[in-house]
Chains A and B, each alone.
Chain A
Amino acid sequence: MERSSNEMQANAKLTREQHLDLYYFMQLNRQLEERMVRLFRQNKIVGGLYASLGQEAVSIGTAYALEPRDWLAPMIRNIGALLVKGFKPRDIFTQHMARYTAPTQGKDGTSHFGDLKVRHVVSPISMLGDLIPVMTGVAMAGRYLGQKIVAMTWIGDGGSSTGAFHEGLNFAATQRAPFVLVLENNQWAYSTPVAQQAPLKNFADRALAYGIASHIVDGNDVMAVYAAAKSAVEQCRAGRGPVLLEAKTMRMRGHAQHDPAEYVPQAMFDYWKTQDPIARYEAYLTEHKLWDAAKKSEIDARIERELDVDQKFAEESPMPPPELAEQGVYCDGCHTVEADWRRPKQELLPPASSVEPVWKVTDFGAFVPSAPAAIAAAGRAEKPGAKPAPTPLAEPEAAPELTEEQPLRVPFGRGPKDRAFERERLEKQEKHRKPFVKHRRDKRGKH
């Protein structure tokens, strides 16, 4: 199901301008958030402040693979995706500072805003996972209207444990909706390490259970993220159904500003610091002679200028008038609801729309011995009267079991500690699984 990386690279040809664009957006994302940290300390951010420090390549690389007609919905750490979609730093500043000039005029904060008409952005809500069914619906509606769009949203390693994740992705899969779900695995969900969310090394493996395509990408390599996202978007646009794209990355701050993240091992931060997505991309641009020091200064200066202007705008903006609180619960004609039809409506009206209301059932669901089940059956034949072996549900590849005496270990990165961890895990697994694994190999040969 996965596409080869060659194919992806071929799809990911970018001009020099586009390469510099990626840098601009990543750096803008970072500098914007740095400024908001300062504003937070000055008590000018009204609510919480969440950072995407260290994850900028995920937001930027994925959103950059979309076209203007495509739709996205950001999560809290995807301010970068909003910038790519054309929102301005002032929108982010004013949202966080609860100003009347903010996209929601102070009714909601953070990245909780959108734009149905021009930028095609759906506002998230705080409840994790809920965007997945919503963006599935966006993808379905786009297809219904003949718009050839792709819908994209993000979910954290933690958010992927919700029921909405399952219902949404399963529905998208059954509908073969043009929907890209980026699973941003930043190793932590608030204070909870990823191994406590699910005993999986790769969350992308879940795609198999949904019958959809998946890909795993180095989330701190913006070119790789872009290439993978581009390929996923094209797969969707070609009508091949949803894609689950797992980006391995690291949340480099606490959950939000209030959280010093003392539960994260310092060595883990140290390791990921060496993987900083912007530093890596700067090196890439230099190595490929896509810029020089003068160009970098020019872009950095532009970012500073833009942020100066927008921050000033936000700080000088008023708070909303109190009576606004009472307005806008209902749409009382203030908005027009109109679909952008890109196909003849006649196709969707009788008689053209009429069908025979029956299911076409081709698979009667008969039991077909699969390899593991056959092994269980063979095991029974060998030892007549023995208790039938249970059908193995998971490949022995599955993650280490967490038992009481086993200290909780956090897998991270590709550093020396990680290799040690991996070795330890494999040894344990080998010891634990030996008789079973041998048994499997023996029997498989005879089939």
Chain B
Amino acid sequence: MAEITMLEAIRAALFEEMERDPAVVALGEDIGVYGGAFKVTEGLLAKFGRERVIDTPISETAIVGAACGMSYLGLRPVVEMQFMDFIACCFNQVTNFVAKSHYRWGAPVPMVVRGPSGGGVHGGPFHSASPEMHFVHTPGLKVVYPSTAYDAKGLLKSAIRDNNPVLFFEHKFLYRRIKQEVPAEDFTVPIGKAAVRRPGRDLTIVSYGAMVHTSLEAAAALAAEGIEAEVIDLRSLLPLDREAILGSVRKTNKLLVVHEDTRTGGIAGEIAAIVCESAFEHLDGPIARVTGLDTPVPYAPPLEQRFLPNVEKVAAAARELAKY
């Protein structure tokens, strides 16, 4: 089994799915000859040709709209957003056309919109955003956010095979920074299932994406102080694995949610509500959260560092919580 980066794992999923099923096609800006802004789709065009790997004009609305139309004829298009920030340009297609299609008139839309998201690479206010919650708030979509190479490959395969529209967030900070042994053979990771990344008894840290790694680092530091944090990686934000969260909270009785997305309206609020509804009597302390600031993601490194959660902030919040 080879060690590959998360980016290579995503690419492998695309290759394998396109090889397996000619109904899978790829569309996006600069994805063909150039291989994509981050080279995720490099090599696809050479192998699968121009009919299946379509370099589009800069038209997010047209790309998502056309992919939706293609899916109505039984294709399974995979759309690349050059940066997930640009999904704002086709918000209407995604939330009104695509998401409501099956509910309104029974027309499934088996398509994937995938692309790089998140900060930490000095991308500034328009290349660093975490726009996932706009879509978690949209019934009809599925929202997936892997944190490991293995999950990225397995979840992307599940997303492509799913009969529903799936938004697949790839944290660009992780693209080439994490490596993992990933099987070359076919496997999938189910959408809607969280994973326990580190077991613990003193408190639960729920996170996703790049913040899983931050949370794990913090948990390691806390362990040295005698605090055993359980780290849960959500992997899917919609549907959310409520049982995994509740099960862990019932065990540790304390919950800290960590996400890079901005604070107000971030998924921590939803998770807090779920825990209050269903496990209130198990709580021994207030539900805590460490999140991005309620600001755009700023450009200058000191500003961006201020914006982002980090190991120190997570560990500090966990220490406070552990006192209860």
Contact between B65 and A355, CB atoms less than 8 A apart: no
Cβ of A228 to closest chain B Cβ, rounded Å = 24
Task: State in angstroms the CA–CA spacing of A329 and B163 once bound together.
Answer: 12
Residues of A within 8 A of B49 (CB): 348, 353-355
Closest beta carbon of chain A to B44's beta carbon, Å: 9
Q: When the two chains form their complex, are residues A132 and B22 in contact, meaning their CB atoms are under 8 A apart?
A: no
Partner of B102, one of A163, A175, A329: A329
Contact A104 B108, CB 8 Å, known A164-B65, A168-B62: no
Residues of A336-394 at the interface with B, using a CB-CB cut-off of 8 Å, are: 337-340, 345, 348-350, 353-359
- Please tell me which one of the listed residues A130, A140, A348 contacts residue B97 in the complex, with CB atoms under 8 A apart: A130
Beta-carbon contact of B23 and A122 below 8 Å: no
Judged by a CB distance under 8 angstroms, whether A170 is at the interface is yes
- Is A107 interfacial (CB-CB < 8 Å)? yes
Which residue of B67, B74, B163 is within 8 Å of A137 (Cβ)?
Answer: B67
Cβ B102 vs Cβ A141 within 8 A:
no
Nearest CB of chain B from residue A380's CB, rounded to whole Å: 34
Q: Which residues 31-59 of B have a CB within 8 angstroms of A?
A: 32-33, 35, 43, 45-52, 54, 56-57, 59
Q: How far is the CA of A134 from the CA of B110 in the complex (A)?
A: 14
Stretch at the interface among A15-23, A111-119, A403-411: A111-119
Interface assignment of B73: CB less than 8 Å from any CB of chain A: yes
- Name A147's closest neighbour in chain B (CB-CB): B73
Contact A141 B75 (CB under 8 A): yes
User: Which of A130, A140, A141 is the one whose CB lies under 8 Å from B92?
Assistant: A130
Query: Which of B72, B76, B102, B110 has the largest count of A CB atoms less than 10 A from its CB?
Result: B72
Residues of A within 8 A of B96 (CB): 125-127, 130
Whether the Cβ atoms of B104 and A141 lie closer than 8 Å is no
| Chain A CB within 8 A of B100 CB | yes
Query: Please, what's the 1-or-0 string for A307-351, where 1 marks a CB less than 8 Å from any CB in chain B?
Result: 000000000000000000000111101110111100001001110
- Chain A neighbourhood of B305, CB < 8 A: none
CB distance from B65 to the nearest CB of A (A): 3
Interface string of A22-60 (1 = CB under 8 A from B): 000000000000000000000000000000000000000
Tell me if B324 is interfacial: C-beta within 8 Å of chain A. no
Is A171 close to B, CB under 8 A? yes
Q: Do B48 and A353 have beta carbons less than 8 Å apart?
A: yes
Residues of B54-98 whose CB lies within 8 A of A: 54, 56-57, 59-77, 92-93, 96-97
Does A140 contact B66, Cβ atoms closer than 8 Å? yes
> In the complex, what's the smallest C-beta–C-beta distance from B196 to chain A, in angstroms?
26
Given contacts A337-B108, A337-B110, A353-B51, contact A130 B22 (CB under 8 A): no
Q: A335 to B108, Cβ gap below 8 A? A: yes
Q: Interface on A for B, CB 8 Å cutoff? A: 103-104, 107-108, 112-114, 116, 122-123, 125-127, 130, 132-142, 144-145, 147, 151, 163-164, 167-168, 170-171, 174-175, 328-331, 333-335, 337-340, 345, 348-350, 353-359
Residues on B lying within 8 angstroms of A by beta carbon are 19, 22-23, 25, 32-33, 35, 43, 45-52, 54, 56-57, 59-77, 92-93, 96-97, 100-108, 110, 139-140, 142, 163-164
Cβ contacts A to B, 12 pairs, < 8 Å: A107-B104, A122-B107, A135-B69, A138-B72, A140-B66, A168-B65, A171-B62, A331-B110, A335-B106, A340-B73, A350-B47, A357-B45
Q: Shortest 10 CB-CB distances between A and B: which pairs?
A: A137-B69, A133-B65, A339-B74, A137-B66, A167-B62, A167-B59, A171-B62, A141-B73, A331-B108, A353-B49
Q: A168-B66, A329-B103 are in contact. List 20 more A-B contacts (CB 8 A).
A: A108-B105, A112-B104, A113-B105, A116-B72, A133-B66, A133-B69, A134-B68, A134-B72, A136-B66, A138-B70, A144-B51, A164-B62, A164-B93, A331-B102, A331-B108, A335-B108, A349-B19, A349-B48, A353-B52, A359-B33
